[in-house]
Amino acid sequence: MTKLTLSSYPHMLGFEQLERLLERTAKSGNEGYPPFNIEQTSERSYRITLAVAGFAEDDLAITVEDRQLVIRGRQADDAHERIFLHRGIAARQFQRSFVLADNVEVGEAIIENGLLHVDLTQTMPETVVQTIKIRKG
């Protein structure tokens, strides 16, 4: 069986970066922690919500790296100061990545009630019509 790639289609030129982006996303290995939702809040805006119970604002970092929204969480290890009889609340570090299109911008991030909300806005690219002059060779 032959693997189909975007380069297999001769009419799709210049999509190599998109193909690499899809491969990187497939290999990102995002596991199930922390759970998250993605909702469309308007025609051109979205909200990613992560369940980050137990994480303080200072335990979280949000960056955009090479068109990837990366959300990291790392709690300070205070286990040596506390004695747990049972520890069932996850306190592990995490990293969640979301690939962004060129026209998607990251807005504000809000943490409330153990949920981290990250707002995204999609801008509409201008439609450009270009006429190419034909010259005699």
- What are the residue ranges spanned by the domains of the chain? 31-122
CATH domain 31-122 topology: Immunoglobulin-like (2.60.40)
Structure confidence by residue, pLDDT tens digits, 21-75: 777 666 665 578 899 999 999 999 999 999 998 899 999 999 999 889 999 999 8
Strands (E), the chain: 36-42, 45-51, 60-65, 68-73, 94-99, 104-112, 115-122
Instruction: Please give the single-letter amino acid code of residue 3.
Output: K
CA distance 41 to 109: 14
The structure's pTM equals 0.73
The confidence score (pLDDT) of residue 3 equals 64
- Whether 50 contacts 30, CB under 8 Å: no
